[in-house]
Structure 1
């Protein structure tokens, strides 16, 4: 019978990791704004990076900023699960990492600078980069997620406006040097996470997270279907510079006329032109499932989302439109599994954002919907029927 070594080093604790990041943020802020008093504000729950609001007080001025810190470019979930070694190993590697060209915060700062000087989506204002800590100014506006709940009948126009802002980015021919890192498309992330033998043990471990919730038993079947190659032709692919980590909570519409929509937390990546569409569509669905608004609201948002997807597909040659829709839906399902398994794997010591908390506490509706839709994929159900079925399953999951 297999045994576990009692000599295996323990993973880092959240207390050690958070305290270390707080020190780095404080020291970096003092370096960035000398002769200032720095006070730590609220921590922003995230499974990926460490983010806090800071207040920087100077005799002549006062400012609030967001400070963001990355450990070794990996997620907080992976770090606290021991994927990068024990705490002494992480500290030693981190001291080298923050000064390397691979630093995620260095890359994000370059992306914000690029977006700020381009005619594409407007980012948060960059306030500085010190010692591996990225500082940005708070952004005013109403998140797309809240606008969808408040005005579900405007879903199509809100999504149209969001992607209108992104068009200049897609037309960009900028050099990739310093802007994008390792390939992080949805499919590549999914295959990196689940396309290896150790994935079976990982999924089995997640199966024990929610005691008595047998919906987690669906995960291996879902993953197997999504890893299965298809004999269907792929639509012609056009790689463009995509925003990357696009979600409705990170698109902020202005509260005053004459101002532009802001996009926070970029993760620029060269990928298929429908990557952002698949991400924003599915993350909007996950937001609905997490918040469970009135059924009429959910129906209006999903109808508007479907209308917007149809509009986007009109830019694809007619003979490719159905295959493009199938590909978008497949990516949506992969993105769901990527996100949900990260939430489920998070240790209890790591605070999750509200959507993550809700999905991790109630994974059954999501997994049931994804299981049924991936079964359609496996059976090669006619694509339009499969899309309509997916929308119905998403609506039921949000009930």
Structure 2
């Protein structure tokens, strides 16, 4: 089994990504300046100045998470370069795909970040001023959760139902939450090896975390396969780090990083809930309680299920809980198996530091998802009531 860094070091891969960004930026204007990198698990992202333009540049190495690119699966740096050259000429090029999605979503009425160009596998978007990630707002101003979570989901769902978007005949992949669980996590039994190679965790916690991941994935696989709810177009990357919020209560959130997919319609609210809860339980603000956030989540789901008959309501709750658990499992696995050499966002570091808490959360959400139909609503309420006590 190859070591995680068999093909290329993170330093070399980062230098290569910077080279791609500078080369692409030169086609957009005067000599570019790369100001700073932005930590990420999946892509390389940089602040870039091109003349008076202030842009964000993102480059995804072959469309795979950084940890995967570093494992040597795709060869050394020379082989990666050759593969990238071929990749950017195909419809799978993530930069060109995201630019198309941003333009389509903007036409559909969504307040999304404006693309400045997709060149050579690099997506450039205009920087957004005077906005704060929703993840930080929920941590420091939890009283705004009710207003913001509902607004974000409503805006996204309205845009996705746009006739113009339907006519676009998008060729998009299946839901990444379900595919990650069934074809990624579900195919792995090597948690101990990958955690050990990454070096994010060590000591007595590791065996317990490995056991929880393994047992949870085994329980979730049949649940995911049995999901029965309606399917359609979903945003695919709807979590608080991808939503920028202004100070004014009436300001419309700006959305980043779409990854349009087709899958269960519960996928977007499930991911939004999953990442929101991970944020507030692993990195709570010392002076602000999280109860308003959990109340807002309850209200959000109540709004989604209110007009449905009992069978459809149970079906939606089952889907939400199952996909919430699957997304949390996937996030925990991705964070813990990303090598220590990779700078990761503060939220990911908080997950590492509170990995045992996340395992408890994962266990409880999975248990709720497995409740019998008539007990799903009680399981949902009990789960939300228990969340503030996780720490």
**TM-score w.r.t. structure 2 length?**
0.89
- The 5-angstrom pairing of residues 170-209 of structure 1 reads 170-173=160-163, 174-175=165-166, 179-196=170-187, 199-202=188-191, 204-206=193-195, 209=201
SS at match of 2:54: strand
Q: In the TM superposition, what whole-angstrom CA distance separates every residue of 1:283-333 from its partner, at most 9, and x where no partner exists?
A: 100111221235862122111211111111124333311221122011100
Q: Of the candidates 13, 20, 30, which is equivalent to residue 24 of structure 1?
A: 20
**Number of residue-to-residue matches in the alignment:** 383
CA drift of 1:244 comes to: 1.1
Does the alignment pair 1:93 with 2:87?
A: no
Question: Using the alignment, how far apart are the partners of 1:109 and 1:46 within structure 2?
Answer: 19
CA-based RMSD of the aligned residues comes to 2.6
Query: Relative to structure 1, is the Cα distance of residues 314 and 378 closer, same or farther in structure 2, using a 3 angstrom cutoff?
Result: closer
Question: Using the alignment, how far apart are the partners of 1:85 and 1:263 within structure 2?
Answer: 34
| Residues 251, 261 of structure 1: 8 Å contact kept | yes
Decide which structure has the larger Cα Rg and report it.
1
- The 5-angstrom pairing of residues 240-259 of structure 1 reads 240-255=232-247, 259=251
Question: Using the alignment, how far apart are the partners of 2:383 and 2:250 within structure 1?
Answer: 38
Q: Of the candidates 149, 155, 159, which is equivalent to residue 159 of structure 1?
A: 149
CA drift of 1:261 comes to: 2.1
Task: Give the stretch that moved more between structures: 342-351 or 360-369.
Answer: 360-369
Question: Using the alignment, how far apart are the partners of 2:293 and 2:251 within structure 1?
Answer: 25
Question: Using the alignment, how far apart are the partners of 2:115 and 2:283 within structure 1?
Answer: 31
CA drift of 1:154 comes to: 3.1
Q: In the TM superposition, what whole-angstrom CA distance separates every residue of 1:141-196 from its partner, at most 9, and x where no partner exists?
A: 23222332333233222222112212322313435868453213422221111232
CA drift of 1:135 comes to: 0.6
CA drift of 1:267 comes to: 0.8
Question: Using the alignment, how far apart are the partners of 1:345 and 1:234 within structure 2?
Answer: 28
Does the alignment pair 1:385 with 2:385?
A: no
Question: Using the alignment, how far apart are the partners of 1:281 and 1:5 within structure 2?
Answer: 35
Query: Relative to structure 1, is the Cα distance of residues 272 and 230 closer, same or farther in structure 2, using a 3 angstrom cutoff?
Result: closer
Unaligned runs of 5+ in 2: none
Query: Relative to structure 1, is the Cα distance of residues 167 and 192 closer, same or farther in structure 2, using a 3 angstrom cutoff?
Result: same
Question: Using the alignment, how far apart are the partners of 2:227 and 2:261 within structure 1?
Answer: 21
Does the alignment pair 1:47 with 2:36?
A: no
Q: In the TM superposition, what whole-angstrom CA distance separates every residue of 1:50-96 from its partner, at most 9, and x where no partner exists?
A: 10001112xxxx12110111111111111112232333322221111
Query: Relative to structure 1, is the Cα distance of residues 396 and 357 closer, same or farther in structure 2, using a 3 angstrom cutoff?
Result: same
Unaligned runs of 5+ in 1: none
SS at match of 1:99: coil
